[in-house]
Amino acid sequence: MSILKQVFTWWNGQTIGTRFYTWRFGNKIGQDEFGNSYYEGPKDNEGRPRRWVIFNGYAEASAIPAGWHGWMHHRTDIAPSQEEYQPREWQKPHKPNLTGSPEAYRPKGSMTSNGTRPRVTGDYDAWTPGD
């Protein structure tokens, strides 16, 4: 089943083409706490090394932590695995985008949450003829 997923799906792990390119040209740089693997390869047409990630499971760009995001986008040349990267004290632990999941943010009064939104001054009152 794994080989069929690689042939017919691009969103679940890596495809056959990505596996071949990674095997042929990729140099593994490191791995994050979610199991995503980061690679660097030959230079692109701008002279920068190509960088890519192979996701552990479902391919979701928001699953890349802040330190690795900076490295992927050439904000820094030193990968978090090559230094003692410590998040700032004000940074919260990384969470991927939860939209569409049971843990998504649902403010009070939204259609998907329980309860009603409290009335506030300035709420809209519908216009009726004769007012």
Give the domain ranges of the chain: 2-82
Walking along the chain (131 residues) 10 residues at a time, the average pLDDT comes out as 61 66 81 89 88 84 86 88 79 81 79 68 75 63
What is the side-by-side order of every strand in the sheet holding 49-54? Answer: 27-31, 37-43, 49-54
The confidence score (pLDDT) of residue 73 equals 92
The confidence score (pLDDT) of residue 1 equals 47
Instruction: Please give the backbone phi and psi of residue 126, each rounded to the nearest 5 degrees, phi first.
Output: -65, 145
The confidence score (pLDDT) of residue 8 equals 64
Which helix (H) or strand (E) segment holds residue 18: the answer is helix 16-25
The confidence score (pLDDT) of residue 14 equals 66
The confidence score (pLDDT) of residue 13 equals 63
The confidence score (pLDDT) of residue 86 equals 75
Q: How far apart, in whole angstroms, are the C-alpha atoms of residue 69 and residue 85? A: 13
The confidence score (pLDDT) of residue 38 equals 92
> SS3 letters for 86-104?
CCCCCCCCCCCCCCCCCCC
Q: Which two tokens stand for residue 79?
A: 């990968």
